[in-house]
Each structure stands twice: as structure tokens, then as C-alpha cells.
Amino acid sequence: MLAARGQTLAVAESLTGGLLGAAITAVPGASAFFRGGVIAYATELKAELLGVPRELLARHGAVHPEVAAAMARGVCRLTGASWGLSTTGVAGPDLQDGQPVGRVFVGLCAPGGAESARRFALVGSREEIRNSTVIHAMSLLQAAIGEHKG
């Protein structure tokens, strides 16, 4: 869909740690639309590399919808991609920033700069939560591309 539109994609990953980029590059022909990604696992890298406001991270922690949206916007800015997709959340085994295991946010930045984030409450093992996040992120992106004019 992206290649047919002449659009590109980049990802900013935290809890998925590269799984999302790996899933995208497993598709033959991904080089026609995939620009690359940033794995910003450490909270300070979300600010330093992706431009997530430090005050936002200090106030809410890394697991927050505004952080997910800012990560998606930041990876678009960094790579020049049309679309940005991000993942942040808690895969376990412990709470993070007061957030429960399975709390996940997927951020999206569309052409023109419109950004959003979707919250998911996932269950399962650490591996299942991370894999499920990739599936949800890809589904969210596919739906957004289909709805986007242009």
C-alpha cells in the first residue's frame, strides 16, 4: 500500500526492541517503502534521539499515549518518512512507571503530521505481549493508510 502511494515508513520501538522492524523487513520488497527505525529502549534515548519532550517523560514516564505519539513524530522527522509507527509499553515481568504488565501504546504519525496513539491491554507472557504488539501496530497502520486521503 505504501509503495503504491509513493510513501515511506519508519518505526520507533521501545518494548518491541526491533521486532516491528524485523516483521516489516521480512516482507519481500520492503526496501521500496521502509526507511528504517530507532530502538529507543532507554527512556533518555526517547528524548535524545526522537525528541520526546523531557518534561513529558518526567511527568508520565515512557508508557503514555503522548510519548507514543511523540516517538512516531520524532522518527518521521529523523528519517524523513511519510509515516511513523511507534511502540511503548510494559511486557513484564514487572510494573514500569506504575503501569501494569500488558499496558501498551502504539503511536502513529501520518503524512501531514497528524499523530495519534492507541492503548492496548494485552495478556500473556513477555514474548506474547511483544509479538501481539507487533500485530496490533501493523493492523493499526494498515487501517490508517486505508483511511488516509493521499
Q: What are the sequence ranges of the domains in the chain?
A: 2-147
Q: Are strands 103-109 and 34-39 parallel, antiparallel or unpaired?
A: unpaired
The answer to whether domain 2-147 has CATH 3.90.950.20 is yes
Q: In Å, what is the CA distance from 77 to each residue of 9, 11, 29, 32, 81? A: 11, 11, 23, 19, 7
- Residue 116 confidence (pLDDT): 97
- Residue 97 confidence (pLDDT): 87
Q: Across the 150 residues of the chain, what is the mean pLDDT of every consecutive 10-residue run?
A: 96 98 97 98 98 98 98 98 98 94 98 96 98 98 91
Cell triple for 130: 511483544
Name the β-bridge partners of 96: 99
- Residue 150 confidence (pLDDT): 64
The 3-state DSSP class for residue 82 equals coil
Q: Is the peptide bond preceding residue 93 cis, with omega within 30 degrees of 0?
A: yes
- Measured CA to CA, the distance from residue 61 to residue 89 in angstroms comes to 10
68's CB contacts (< 8 A; 6+ apart) are: 86, 87, 88, 105, 106, 107, 117
- Residue 20 confidence (pLDDT): 98
